[in-house]
Amino acid sequence: MISEFSRPSDKDLNRLASLLGDRITKDEPIGPYTTYRVGGPASLFMRAMSVDDLHAASRALAKVKIPVLMLGRGSNMLISNSGFRGLAIALGPFAEQINLPSSDQDPIVVVGAMSSLPVIARQSVAAGLRGFEWAVGVPGSIGGAVRMNAGGHGSDMIASLLSVRIFHIERGIEANVSAANLGLRFRGSDLNDQHIVLSATLRLARGDKAEGESRLAEIVKWRRENQPGGQNAGSVFVNPVSGASSAGALIDGLGLRGHRIGTASISDKHANFIQADEDGNADDVVELMTFVRQRVIESHGIELRSEIRLVGFSAAISQEAGAIDQGAVSRNTQLESAFGSANNTDLSIPVPSFSEQLSDEVLAELKDAFDGDATPSANLRVVLPNDPDKSRDESRDESRDESRDNSSTTNSSLTLKTNNGRIVIVDEDLRLPVDSDHPIDEMTSSVNIAPTSDPSNIIRDSRIEARSKGVIRSLASNRRRLLTAAGSVVGVVALVLIVLASPIVGVRKVEIEGARYVSADLLIAVEKSLDGKSILTVDTRAAERRLEGDPWVESVRIKSFFPSRLVIEIVERKPVAFYIGVDNRSRVVDPQGRVLAVETGQPTQYLQITGVGPNLAPGASAGTVYKAAAQLAAGLPTELSDRVLNVGVGGPNQLVMTLRTGTLINFGPPIDLQNKLISLLVLLRRQDAKQIIAIDLTDPRTPTVKSK
C-alpha cells in the first residue's frame, strides 16, 4: 500500500504547531512506533490523550491542510529514512481499554483501538469466550486490524466485528459505523488516515475455556516454530491468487532464504519475512522487497503485492516494491455516508432558463394552448426575436387593429411576447388598477384632480416654516449629542475590554493544590497553556477537562484571582490495592475498581489482590469481583487492617482473604460484605487466629470455622 503525501511548507507546519500548542512534539522519531523500528521522524507528532485532543486537531487541520498519518502499533508499516512530513497521531491510554462481558451477558466485547490483539485473544479465552484465538499471533492493535481486515489461521476480523467507533478528523465527527459499511475485503477496507478508529465491538461465542487455551497454545507454538521474531512486520507479500503457491513458497523456491541487502535480510525461518537489523535502514528493506519481487516475476511471471504500508517513499519506489496505490479517497462510500453528506446543497428556488430561439412548432403549440373562449386567439401576439423589423411591423398593425376594435375588446387580454429570447405572458386581469383606470367623469373619461393635489395652490406660512426649521435643527443637535455620548461609551467599553483581554492582566502565577500522583508532564503542559492568558478570558474549563483526563484525577476546579493568579484545586482518587495482570504488570486500583496506574514492579505499599487479572489500561474499570475486592480493601476497619496479608479473587464470583497468621477467609459472592466483616471481627475477638485454619463467611449468620 502506497502512502505518498503532499509536502506541506514549513510555514504551514509551524502554523499547525502553533494552533495545537503543547499537544505537539516536533521531529519525533516514529520508527520506534513500528515493529521494524527503522525510519525517520515525523515533522509534527501528537499523542491524543482524549477525544477532545482529536477535536482540537480537527479544528486546526480545517485551517491548515496538512497530511495526517495515524500510528497504531506499527506491525504493518515501514517508515522511510526521510520520515513523514506532516502530522502523525497516536492514541493514548484511553484507547487501550478491554471491556469483557459478565457470565450472564451476551458475549459482546468492546475494545479500544490501541488494545493489543494477543492480549484481547488471551483475555477473551480467559473469560470463556471463543472466536478470537487467531489474533494471539498477530502483534498489532485492534485499530490496525480493522483497517486492513487482519486475519490468520482460518479467520479474520470480518468473522467477529459488529461495529466500529470512528472519529473523522477531516469533518470533526464521531460516529458508530456498522461493519457492513466499512468496505472490508481481503487485507483491506475503505478506511484511510481521516478515519481514526477509537474502539471496536466484537461478537464472540461462549465456549469451553480449556479448549480455547489449547487453541491459543497451538497457534503460539506454530508461530514460534515457523515464523521469526525480531524486527519485522510479518508477511511482506500477499499470497497470489487461488491456485498458485504461497508467496513464501515462491521465494523459497528461488533459494533466497538468508539473502541480504545492506541491513535487511530474508529470514532463514520463513522466506516471506524480511528482517531489519538493529539500527537498520528502511531503504535497504524496500530495496530487498523490490529485488525479491523482480526475481519472482522473472521466474514465475507472478507480480507479488506487498502487505506492508510504505510511508514517505516515492510512488515509483513503492510501486517497484509491490505496494498498491490507494488512489483518491472516495467520497461516495457507505463509510463516508455514515458521517453525513460533505456536499453543500443549494436550497434556493431554481431560476427557469429558456432557449434563445423557439422553433415554429413550439410557438404554434403555445398559440394553440391559449386558443379558446376565455382567451381569444385574436389577443395572442407572438413576436419572433430574430426578426425585429417584422416584429415592429406586426406591432403597428396590431395597434391599428386594437384602436379600431377598442369598444369590443375587454381588459382581460392575454398576450404572449418574446423579449430577448424569453417568453413573457402578460395577463391584464392580474394588473393592479390605477387612478386612470377609474375616471370620475364616465362621459368624458377624464380624471378630476383636487386643488390640494396641485403644489402650485399651496399657501406657504413663513412662521410655520421657521418653526419647522427650528425643530429640525434642535432634533439634529440632540441627535449629534446622543451619537457623541454613545460613541464615547462604546469607546470606553472597548478600551476596557482591550485592556482586560491584554497581557497587562494576564496570568502570571499558577498554583496547584492537591496534586500528588497526577502526571508531572501534564501539569507542566496545562500550566504553560494558561500562562500569559488574560485572567478574564482564559479558558479554564478546557484546562479542567484536560486534567480530568488523567486517571488519577477525580475532579478539578480552577479559581481566578484578579489580576494575575490562578489556583488549580485537584481532588485525586485514592489508591487502595493492586493486582497482577496477564502481562505480569501491576494495576493500581481505587475503591471503585478503576485502574489508576500500570507499573512494572509490585507496589507493596498497597494491599494486593491475588489472582491474575485483566490487562487494563489506566482509566479503565475492572470487573465486578475486582471492584468488590478493592472496596473490601478500602473498607477494612483499623482493628483488622494490620492483620490482613492480602485479599483475592477465588473464582468468577468469589472473594477470599488471607491473614498474616495464614488463616484463609472465604467471603463467597461479593455481597453483604459489611455484615461479613462484622462476623469476622466477632470471631477473631473470641478465638486466637493462630489456631484457625479457615473461616467460611458465605452466610454471615452461620459462619463456619475450621481450627487446627
Q: Is there a contact between 66 and 24 (Cβ–Cβ < 8 Å)? A: no
Concerning whether 307 is annotated as a catalytic residue, the answer is yes
Q: Where are the beta strands (DSSP E) in 614-680?
A: 644-651, 654-659, 664-668
Q: Where are the beta strands (DSSP E) in 467-548?
A: 509-513
Q: Distance (Å, rounded) from C-alpha 561 to C-alpha 242?
A: 72
Secondary structure of residue 283 in the 3-state scheme: helix
Q: Distance (Å, rounded) from C-alpha 223 to C-alpha 277?
A: 21
Secondary structure of residue 565 in the 3-state scheme: strand
Q: Which three cell numbers stand for residue 264?
A: 535487511
Of 4, 28, 307, 527, the catalytic one is 307
Distance of alpha carbon 260 from the chain centroid: 42
Residue 3's contacts (CB-CB under 8 Å, 6 or more residues apart) are 69, 193, 309, 310, 311, 312, 326
Of 15, 47, 187, 223, the catalytic one is 187
**What one-character DSSP code corresponds to residue 185?**
B
Helix, strand, coil: what percent of the chain each, to 5?
35, 25, 40
Q: Which three cell numbers stand for residue 42?
A: 515525523
Q: Distance (Å, rounded) from C-alpha 277 to C-alpha 12?
A: 35
Element (H, E) at 11: helix 10-20
If you write DSSP's letter for every residue of 76-91 in order, what string do you get? TEEE-TT-EEEEEEEE
Dihedrals φ, ψ of 621, to 5°? -110, 135
Q: Would you say the C-alpha torsion 152, 154, 160, 161 has a positive or negative sign?
A: positive
Concerning whether 187 is annotated as a catalytic residue, the answer is yes
For β-strands 305-306 and 586-589, DSSP reports them as unpaired
Q: Distance (Å, rounded) from C-alpha 86 to C-alpha 65?
A: 10
Q: Could you count the other beta carbons within 10 Å of the beta carbon of residue 339?
A: 19
HSE value, Cβ hemisphere, 13 Å, CA-based, for 339: 23
Q: Is there a contact between 306 and 238 (Cβ–Cβ < 8 Å)? A: yes
Q: Distance (Å, rounded) from C-alpha 700 to C-alpha 680?
A: 8
Query: Which of 475, 35, 487 has its CA nearest to residue 227?
Result: 35
Of 115, 124, 141, 235, the catalytic one is 235
Q: Could you count the other beta carbons within 10 Å of the beta carbon of residue 95?
A: 27
Residue 206's contacts (CB-CB under 8 Å, 6 or more residues apart) are 107, 128, 129, 130
Q: Distance (Å, rounded) from C-alpha 617 to C-alpha 214?
A: 27
Query: Which of 34, 30, 72 has its CA nearest to residue 232?
Result: 34
Q: Which amino acid is at 265?
A: S
Q: Where are the beta strands (DSSP E) in 573-691?
A: 577-581, 586-589, 595-599, 607-613, 644-651, 654-659, 664-668
Query: Which of 242, 243, 241, 237 has its CA nearest to residue 296?
Result: 237
Q: Distance (Å, rounded) from C-alpha 15 to C-alpha 27?
A: 15
Q: Where are the beta strands (DSSP E) in 550-643?
A: 553-561, 565-572, 577-581, 586-589, 595-599, 607-613
Q: Which three cell numbers stand for residue 290?
A: 523490490
Q: Is there a contact between 632 and 667 (Cβ–Cβ < 8 Å)? A: yes
As annotated, the active-site residues are: 187, 235, 307
